[in-house]
Amino acid sequence: MLQEKVVLVTGGTGSFGNAFVKALLDNHSPRKIIIYSRDEFKQFEMAKKFAANAERLRFFIGDVRDRDRLYRAFSDVDIVVHAAALKHVPIAEYNPFEAVQTNIQGAQNVIGAALDAHVKRVIALSTDKACNPVNLYGATKLCSDKLFIAANAYSGVRETRFAVVRYGNVLGSRGSIVPLFRELAIKGEIPITDDRMTRFWITLRQAVAFVVNALREMQGGELFIPRIPSMKIVDLAKAIAPHARLKIIGIRPGEKLHEIMISKDDSRNLFSTDEYYIKRPDFSFWQTEPLTNVTPVPEGFEYTSDTNDRWLDSEGLKKILASEGL
């Protein structure tokens, strides 16, 4: 599917973008990969990192808020992976309209550019915080998800199709809790907001593989959610720094005790496989081919980090951290 295709990644210098580009170069044969992002230094560093494949990489300085620049970058592109976002929860709370302009207006700009440039497939990355959001970041990503799914109704005779991938916390990503805990462990004390707190967990490699699979499987309008393990924050702290003291500091504004990726209301038109869930669009007018090898979830189903049937304890987390070089 990716062979000889032109692939563009917004926010391509981030953790996901670096891992995604590496996977494409190692395991697929794209004709060209375009990294679209705002930070010229990160592009410079990324270009050095992938210097052996320089002939297949192009770097575009640009912001998803800039509609005209997106139109220029999307010329002759086959596939877009939209990873650009303002995602730091406290910063989004303090600078709300900045998050709105990037995460919502930027999403609409990507949609418009993809439609007019006749891009074939667009995958947007979401977050578990978009389900029943309690902070602004989650609310902007929920809005973004809705925009991308509804965008299929605007395709008309165009081949452009849009889908969304939603997953939980990414192990080792930029801003991840892992390097923070390691830094704090040096001082002998790690702050924990609540010792009951749980989170979904996925590695960068798993996230990249899931996005590639979604690109392969999508017909348009789907929300793909991987079946991934949960972990307790206290178990992660013990895995990283078993001798450090844990200090309970209380939940921060905009933070949930447990994350949720599928609510009861989202479970309509939701299907399950052994590895992921697929929520199909609720629009009666949007017709897609019947799914095979899937099972409808029962009425009232929800997918939350505290009631998950897959778990990582401290020993399991240690193994994953070691396997990922963290």
114-143 per-position pLDDT tens digit? 999 999 999 999 999 999 999 999 999 999
pLDDT for 175 equals 65
158-205 per-position pLDDT tens digit? 899 999 999 988 886 776 788 888 888 888 889 899 999 999 999 999
pLDDT for 183 equals 84
Q: Write out the H or E segment, with its range, that includes residue 60.
A: strand 57-61
pLDDT for 253 equals 79
Can you give the residue ranges of every domain in the chain? Answer: 6-170+201-227+263-303
Report the alpha-carbon distance of residue 78 to residue 103 in Å, rounded: 22
Alpha helices in the chain (DSSP H): 15-27, 40-49, 67-73, 89-94, 96-100, 106-116, 136-150, 177-185, 204-217, 233-240, 314-323
The yes-or-no verdict on residue 268 having pLDDT over 90 is: no
The yes-or-no verdict on residue 2 having pLDDT over 70 is: yes
pLDDT for 69 equals 97
Report the alpha-carbon distance of residue 129 to residue 136 in Å, rounded: 9
Across residues 194-222, what is the average pLDDT? 94
The yes-or-no verdict on residue 244 having pLDDT over 90 is: no
pLDDT for 94 equals 92
Active-site option among 5, 42, 87, 129: 129
Fold classification of 6-170+201-227+263-303 (topology level): Rossmann fold (3.40.50)
54-106 per-position pLDDT tens digit? 999 999 999 999 999 999 999 999 999 999 999 988 899 999 999 999 999 99
pTM of this structure? 0.93
Q: What is the dihedral angle through the alpha carbons of 165, 166, 168, 172, rounded to the nearest 10 degrees?
A: 30
Q: Is 232 among the residues known to form the active site?
A: no
Sign, CA dihedral 302-304-308-310, equals positive
Nearest to 171 by CA among 223, 207, 123, 225: 207
